[in-house]
Amino acid sequence: MSADYVLMKGNEAIAEAALRAGCRFYAGYPITPQSEILEYMSSNMQKYGGTFIQGENEIASMSMIWGAAAAGARCMSSSSGPGFDLKQEEISYLSSYNLPCVLVDAMRYGLGDGEITAGQDSYWEAVRGGGHGDSRQLVYAPASVDECVQLTYQAFDKAEEYRNVVIILTDGAISQMIEKCTLPPAKEHDINKFDWTLTGKPLGVKKNKVYNLDHTIGFEAWEKLMRNKFKTMYENEQRWEEFQTDDAEIVLVAIGISSRVCKSAVRQARKEGFKLGLLRPITVWPFPRKAFEKMPKSVEAYVTVEMGMSSQMGEDVLLAMKHQKPFYSYLTTKYIPKAEDIVNFCKDIKAGKVQQTEVF
């Protein structure tokens, strides 16, 4: 970490990184554990000359994002749990016209109101969601406050590169923790630089419309364009971190707070000569399948560590390793996993005491 660090909460770091990336429109609605993003934006957006709006609810806020994105602004919204559900419809609409924006989902645990504390069981919603229809969102899963900064800063570029929604998927723990981070320089975004935005046009010049693209360019062309875009994202955007996987016998797969605990688990196990490794997806869509192709022959099994009641990421891991290795999940529901419990679970796997996890 450079000498120019600052200490920030994950949520604040995301908001500051967005402002520095040129985000000049934020609309949202409070809900724990992401409310500091909204609070930070309300206090700091004015300094950057942008607009902050707390909408009457999540749907209204997200509709405003639709408008800002259509105008070419760098814009962002954020939510958690049931609040993020309410953004799904608009994600679909933004996708239908290929509009870029950045959304943050700070996962909290449970169904319905659930808990306000950390969870990772909204994984499916982030990687399989996107409202009705057939769309994909680039989904980043930061595991530190510094990564919250770097990924959010980059997310705006990626959103525009692909004209696509980009999701920053954190959890209540990463969002609420304070760590050192390094802030990138502030930059300005030119709202008029795109040819597809809604801007005033002289009389007689064809105006852009925010309309389902298939109506504009024809269904066949639209379908091809979308499929190619998602394929390109899948090919080019897979990102991951490997920690001590070179000779690993068991590879842990985890994101966010669980991956941090897994790192401690790997260190603990290695001290005892037990060869654990960690494969940490940084993008969860596209899931880093390429990482699994390169895993060493020493790998005997994969273990996901997830704060959920059923293995959601397990589906992606099984696909990525093509069902070639035994698979287990260490699931901790609403509780933060403990490093020694993960190590013991893996020891039990080695000893043949654990049944493989069913993914359904």
Partner 1 sequence: MADIIMSGLGGQGVLTAGKILINIAAAEGKNVSWTSTYGAAMRGGSASCNIVVSDEEIGSPYPSQYDILFAMSDEAYETYVGNMRDGGTVIINSSMVGEHDFPKNVNVYAVPATNEANEAGNSRAANLVMLGALIEATKLMDTQKFGAGLNAYFEKKGHNTPSNLVCYQKGVATVEKK
Contacting residues toward partner 1, per CB under 8 A:
1, 5, 7, 32-33, 116-117, 172-173, 176-180, 257, 260-265, 267, 336, 338-340
Work out how close the CB of 57 gets to partner 1 at its nearest, in angstroms, rounded to a whole number: 22
Residue nearer to partner 1 on the CB measure, 128 or 338: 338
- The CA angle 158-20-184, to the nearest 5 degrees, is 85
- Least Å distance between CB 178 and partner 1? 4
Query: What token pair was written down for 211?
Result: 């309309």
> What's the N-to-C CA distance of the chain in angstroms?
42
When the beta carbons of 1 and 205 are compared against partner 1, the nearer one is: 1
Is the distance from CB of 118 to CB of 332 less than 8 angstroms? no
**What is the phi/psi pair of residue 238, to 5°?**
-65, 125
Contacts 24+ apart (CB under 8 A), 39-47: 40/11, 40/12, 40/15, 40/16, 41/15, 44/15, 44/16, 44/19, 45/19, 47/19
Beta carbons within 8 Å of 100's beta carbon, 6+ residues apart: 69, 156, 159, 160, 162, 163, 164, 165, 166
Q: How far is the CB of 5 from partner 1 (least distance, A)?
A: 7
Instruction: Please say which residue, 43 or 324, places its beta carbon nearer to partner 1.
Output: 43
How many C-beta neighbours within 10 Å does residue 260 have?
Answer: 21
* Closer residue to partner 1, CB minimum distance, 117 or 170: 117
Cβ-based nearer residue to partner 1, 32 or 199: 32
> 8 vs 295, which CB is nearer to partner 1?
8
Shortest Å distance, C-beta 177 to partner 1 = 5
| Least CB distance to partner 1 at residue 247 (A) | 19
| Minimum distance, C-beta of residue 179 to partner 1, in the bound complex (Å) | 5
Burial class for 278, CB neighbours closer than 10 Å (0-12, 13-18, 19+): buried
Quote the tokens at residue 26.
Answer: 């934020």
Which of residues 164 and 245 has its CB atom nearest to partner 1 in the complex? 245
At residue 208, the 3 state secondary structure works out as coil
What does the H/E/C string look like for 123-182? HHHHHHCCCCCCCCCEEECCCCHHHHHHHHHHHHHHHHHHCCEEEEEEEHHHHHCEEEEE
The minimum distance between CB 34 and partner 1, in angstroms, equals 12
Say how far apart CA 40 and CA 104 lie, in whole Å. 14
- 80 Cβ contact partners less than 8 Å away, ≥ 6 residues apart: 31, 32, 33, 34, 105, 106, 107, 108, 172
* CB-nearer residue toward partner 1: 95 or 144: 144
Looking at the Cβ atoms of 101 and 261, the one nearer to partner 1 is 261
Q: Which is nearer to partner 1, 116 or 225 (CB)?
A: 116
Least Å distance, CB 265 to partner 1, is 8
Distance CA 47, CA 164 (A): 28
- Taking the complex as a whole, how short is the minimal distance between the CB of residue 256 and partner 1, in angstroms? 12
Q: Which two tokens stand for residue 5?
A: 């660090």
CB of 14 to partner 1, least distance (A): 16
